[in-house]
Amino acid sequence: MLIDFERKTRRSFMTWQSIQSAVTDHVPAENWEGAYNVVPVPAAELRRKLLAMTSSGGKDDPAARCLNLIDKLRDEYGAPESEPRHPDFASGRPWPILTPDPDAEDGN
């Protein structure tokens, strides 16, 4: 829904927190009141739909940005064992969508 809205309005309402809440869960930590662990939850269907919505894979592609953010969250918190790395292998679409990472150093 947020992807369609961004495409229609050319404004982004998708935040890191909104994506994180879709692909992780906060589980109370044992023996530590008020603390929690962030654990991954399966999101294969969401990722498959997002891959189908991708266009250029560039910075102006909201579906690709969302998939890349999900990958960063998976790198940080892990991925469910039941979730394949490629969102939809049968589609024949390449994965990962390779775009320059603005957080990466340029090597100079």
Residue 35 resides in a domain: yes
Residue 102 resides in a domain: no
Computed over every residue of the chain, the mean pLDDT equals 85
- Give 44-66 pLDDT, tens digit per residue: 999 999 999 888 787 788 888 89
Query: What pLDDT does 77 receive?
Result: 93
Amino acid at 47: R
Query: What pLDDT does 13 receive?
Result: 76
Residue 9 resides in a domain: yes
Amino acid at 27: V
Distance of CA 28 to the CA centre of its chain: 23
Higher-pLDDT residue of 103, 63: 63
Number of folded domains that form the chain:
1
3-state secondary structure of 83: coil
Residue 103 resides in a domain: no
Residue 100 resides in a domain: no
Enclosing domain of residue 68? 2-91
Residue 76 resides in a domain: yes
E strands, 1-108, are: 24-28, 36-40
Average pLDDT of 17-40? 93
Query: What pLDDT does 57 receive?
Result: 80
pLDDT confidence of 106, banded at 50, 70, 90? Answer: low
